[in-house]
Homo-oligomer: A and B are copies of this chain.
Amino acid sequence: MNTSHSSTPKTAPKVLAFDVFGTVVDWHGGIAREVQALRPQVDGDAFALAWRAGYQPAMRRVMSGELGWTLIDDLHRLILEGIVAQFGLADLTEAEKKHLNKAWHRLQPWPDVVVGLTRLKSRHVICTLSNGNLGLLAEMAKGAGLPWDCILSAEVFRAYKPDPATYLGVAKVFDVAPADVMLVAAHQDDLAAARACGLQTAYIERPAEFGAARPKDVTPHADNTRHARDFLALADQLGC
């Protein structure tokens, strides 16, 4: 058991809630591959980054009230429409756009995920806490064999992360205190917002989230309850 990050005694969380895009699945690699399968001349790396870059601004338009409540599938489509021209994809048919938009449902997990989740599930309730919609997350789980005990989403709470209603919503669903929930994510801002709500936090290194050529800073932050290379290391730390 790797105990390098668990020297301080900590209360074991009852529920592990997982961020999904980047933490569980490789959105950059998946989107780049799928667009190149449709149009091999497109720069898949740049396309994936551009599509993902529209994600936070689109959610802000919803949370500000400018747009009504909108599922991520529909936000993905809005963003896609805004970038097709610049990537020379204006000739995509409606069927091709629909197919490409559902590439987010077909993203593949990082290599440690299925084994890691299966180990973590043995001693914890494991659920998603993603801004992705329920249908997207359920299809992804079925396709990739992700063994969630429950799929929770912004769609359930009618609010996107980092709204406190999402983090606190997980605790309410399982009738536990916020400190009994641990958010597991590869993004420090998501973890900081969860911590402000009283949740435990685990940072997962996903250095290739933005592509292998663009390694991400994965420096540990002392505020997180755990810092783990991947889900196997987290399972080690939690004794699973």
Contact = CB atoms under 8 A, between A and B. Distances in A.
Interface of A: 73, 125, 127, 133-135, 137-139, 141-142, 149-152, 155-156, 173-175
A127 B138 CA distance: 9
Contacts of A151: 150-151
Given A73-B175, A156-B155, A141 B149 contact: yes
Nearest to A137: B150
8 contacts: A73-B175, A125-B138, A134-B150, A135-B173, A138-B149, A141-B150, A155-B173, A156-B156
A174 B138 contact: yes
Copies of this chain assembled into the complex: 2
B173 A152 contact: no
A174 B140 CA distance: 12
A150 B151 CA distance: 6
B149 A142 contact: yes
Contacts of A137: 150
A134 B152 contact: yes
Nearest to A175: B135
A167 B137 CA distance: 20
A125 B142 contact: yes
Nearest to A105: B175
A-B pairs, top 9 by smallest CB distance, nearest first, are: A138-B150, A135-B173, A135-B174, A134-B173, A142-B149, A138-B149, A150-B151, A156-B156, A135-B175
